[in-house]
C-alpha cells in the first residue's frame, strides 16, 4: 500500500479521503474448526442476558498513527477521559505476515511506543486488522490455520484483550476469504480464552447487504463465538433522513440478521452487535454525521447494551483549518474532541 496515505474505511472509494463486534446461545451447534479441533460448546442463553456489560472497552474510537499529524493518545485521554483506543491498521507485508500498514514491524517502533504510553496512563487498546486499502492477511494467508497464526502474532505482540477484524473490499467480497476469516477467528478464540473479537463491515441503511448477511451466517454455522458484529453506517450511496436515524435503521437490520443467524433472543442479539460511525463529513456528498447523531446513537447503544460504539476517527475529531486535509479533520464546525467525548460516555 502507499505509505503516504491512510487506509480507507468506507464501503466506497473516494480519492483523497479515508475513514474507516458476548457468548453464543445454547442452540448453536458445535463445529469443527479448520484445524480439525472441535469448537467450544456454546454458552447457555442466560449467560448473554446476565453477563456484565463490556465496560470501557466498548468505547474505543479508532486512531490511525501511520500518516499525517495524529494526536498523542495520552493527550486525547487527558482531554476526553478515553481509556481505550482502536489502533489501525495491521496488514500483510505481502506474505502471511502482519505488519502495521504492511511495512512497520509490530514491535520496537512508534506503534508499540504508543500502546505502552496508553497502558502507562491506565488505558488499553484494540488492534484493528484490515481496512479498505493495502494487502489483506485474509487473502495473503492460504488457509485458516495460517491466518490464525498471523492473528496470533498480533495478539502475542501486545498481549491483547481484544482484536478487531475490519473486513472490507476484496477480503469482504470473496466468499472463500470470508470463510477463511471466520474459521481463523474460531481457532484464535479457542486458543485465547477471554479474547474479545469484533468483525467490522460496511452496511446499507437497512442493515448488512447480502454479503454481510452471508458473513454472519458463516460465523453462526462455524460456531464462531464472536463478541460483536459491527457495522460502519456511512458511505451509503443514498439514504433518507438524518445520518443518526439511518444508523439506527442499519443497526435494527444488523440485529435482525444476527438474531436470525444465531437463534438469539432480542436482548442477546443486541449485545452481539455494534457500530463504528464516522464523524462529520463522510466520503459522500450529502452525508454529514453530527454530534446530535452521535448522541442519538449513544442513547440507542445504552438502551440495547451494544457490544461496541466506536468511530473513525480521533484523527478527524477537530475542525479543519485553512488548507487542512479532510483525513485529519471532520469538515464541520466543532471544538476539539466533541465526538470522542460523546463516545466515551458509553460503558456497555
**314 CB-side CA count, 13 A:** 31
Q: Report how far residue 18's alpha carbon sits from residue 29's, in angstroms, rounded to the nearest whole number.
A: 39
For 77-87, b/e burial (b = at least 16 CB within 10 A) is beebebbbbbb
DSSP string covering 210-223 = HHHHHHHHHHHHHT
Please give the DSSP secondary-structure letter assigned to residue 56: G
- Candidates 168, 171, 284, 287; catalytic one: 168
| 32/113 Cα distance (integer angstroms) | 39
C-alpha 68, offset from chain centre: 21
Map residue 231 onto helix, strand or coil: strand
Question: Own/partner pairs for 169-173, CB < 8 Å, 24+ apart?
Answer: 169/8, 169/132, 169/133, 169/136, 170/136, 170/139, 171/130, 171/136, 171/138, 171/139, 172/201, 172/202, 172/211, 172/215, 173/211
Phi, psi angles (nearest 5°) of residue 230:
-115, 135
| Dihedral Cα 171, 255, 306, 118, nearest 10 deg | 0
Which residue, among 99, 108, 65, has the nearest Cα to 85 in the 3D structure? Answer: 65
**322 close to 289: Cβ distance less than 8 angstroms:** no
Is 287 a known active-site residue? no
Side-chain half-sphere exposure of 129, counting CA atoms within 13 A: 32
In whole angstroms, give the CA distance from residue 226 to residue 201: 14
The residues that are catalytic are 168
Amino acid at each position: 500500500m502507499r505509505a503516504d496515505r491512510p487506509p480507507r474505511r468506507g464501503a466506497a472509494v473516494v480519492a483523497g479521503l479515508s475513514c474507516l463486534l458476548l457468548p453464543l446461545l445454547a442452540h448453536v451447534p458445535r463445529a469443527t474448526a479448520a484445524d480439525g479441533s472441535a469448537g467450544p460448546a456454546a454458552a447457555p442463553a442466560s449467560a448473554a442476558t446476565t453477563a456484565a456489560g463490556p465496560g470501557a472497552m466498548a468505547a474505543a474510537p479508532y486512531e490511525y498513527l501511520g500518516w499525517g499529524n495524529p494526536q498523542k493518545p495520552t493527550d486525547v485521554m487527558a482531554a476526553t477521559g478515553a481509556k481505550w483506543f482502536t489502533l489501525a491498521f495491521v496488514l500483510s507485508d505481502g506474505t502471511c505476515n502482519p505488519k502495521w500498514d504492511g511495512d512497520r514491524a509490530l514491535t520496537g517502533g512508534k506503534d508499540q511506543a504508543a500502546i505502552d504510553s496508553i497502558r502507562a496512563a491506565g488505558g488499553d487498546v484494540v488492534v484493528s486488522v484490515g481496512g479498505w486499502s493495502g494487502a489483506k492477511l485474509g487473502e495473503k494467508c492460504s488457509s485458516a490455520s495460517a491466518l490464525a497464526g498471523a492473528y496470533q502474532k498480533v495478539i502475542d505482540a501486545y498481549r491483547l484483550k481484544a482484536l478487531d477484524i475490519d473486513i472490507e473490499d476484496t477480503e469482504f467480497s470473496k466468499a472463500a476469504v470470508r470463510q477463511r476469516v471466520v474459521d481463523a477467528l474460531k481457532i484464535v478464540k479457542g486458543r485465547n480464552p477471554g479474547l474479545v473479537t469484533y468483525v467490522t463491515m460496511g452496511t446499507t441503511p437497512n442493515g448488512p447487504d447480502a454479503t454481510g448477511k452471508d458473513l454472519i451466517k458463516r460465523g453462526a454455522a462455524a460456531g464462531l463465538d464472536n463478541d460483536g458484529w459491527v457495522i460502519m453506517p456511512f458511505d451509503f450511496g443514498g439514504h433518507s433522513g438524518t445520518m443518526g436515524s439511518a444508523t439506527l435503521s442499519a443497526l435494527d437490520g444488523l440485529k435482525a440478521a444476527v438474531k436470525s443467524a444465531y437463534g438469539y433472543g432480542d436482548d442477546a442479539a443486541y449485545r452481539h452487535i455494534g457500530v463504528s460511525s464516522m464523524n462529520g463529513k463522510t466520503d459522500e456528498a450529502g452525508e454529514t454525521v453530527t454530534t446530535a447523531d452521535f448522541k442519538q446513537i449513544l442513547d440507542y447503544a445504552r438502551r440495547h447494551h451494544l457490544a461496541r460504539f466506536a468511530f473513525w476517527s480521533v484523527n478527524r475529531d477537530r475542525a479543519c483549518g485553512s488548507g487542512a486535509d479532510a483525513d485529519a479533520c471532520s469538515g464541520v464546525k466543532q471544538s476539539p474532541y466533541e465526538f470522542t467525548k460523546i463516545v466515551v460516555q458509553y460503558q456497555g
